[in-house]
Amino acid sequence: GESVGLHLPTLSVQEGDNSIINCAYSNSASDYFIWYKQESGKGPQFIIDIRSNMDKRQGQRVTVLLNKTVKHLSLQIAATQPGDSAVYFCAESPRNQGGKLIFGQGTELSVKP
């Protein structure tokens, strides 16, 4: 029979534009959050993290924003490049659960040259 897979949200942007990828997390006890990038055929790769005592953190071309009130996380990528094309996952780590990471469904970012 025909298999039905997850239909990942897709974000398509023009090279050079900024990208914003959003994520809603579920557990109000989560106190640590990570964004991962996964390219085809590879494992998830760490991009940036943020702890619950912060609401913003910046890296190289990337910024993560955390809104604990509405349990929302976003990843902003500045000057998006073709090499940024991948699936992006947010992950939450509930407090006192040994570093367990719970992943969201992912968003596919497609960068048009």
Partner 1 sequence: DAGVIQSPRHEVTEMGQEVTLRCKPISGHNSLFWYRQTMMRGLELLIYFNNNVPIDDSGMPEDRFSAKMPNASFSTLKIQPSEPRDSAVYFCASSFRTGGADTEAFFGQGTRLTVV
62 or 102: CB nearest partner 1: 102
Q: Is residue 62 a contact residue for partner 1 (CB under 8 A)?
A: no
Q: Is residue 102 a contact residue for partner 1 (CB under 8 A)?
A: yes
Per DSSP, the three-state class of 83 is: helix
Only segment of 11-19, 21-29, 39-47, 76-84 that touches partner 1 (CB under 8 A): 39-47
Shortest distance in whole angstroms from residue 48 CB to partner 1:
9
Phi-psi sector, 82: left (phi>0), alpha (psi -120 to 50), beta: alpha
Shortest distance in whole angstroms from residue 40 CB to partner 1:
11
Q: Is residue 4 a contact residue for partner 1 (CB under 8 A)?
A: yes
Q: Is residue 105 a contact residue for partner 1 (CB under 8 A)?
A: yes
Q: Is residue 98 a contact residue for partner 1 (CB under 8 A)?
A: yes
DSSP assignment string, 8-75? --EEEEETTS-EEEEEE---TTEEEEEEEEE-TTS--EEEEEEETT-SEEE-SSEEEEEETTTTEEEE
Alpha carbon distance, N-terminus to C-terminus of the chain: 37
Q: How many residues bind partner 1 (CB under 8 A)?
A: 26
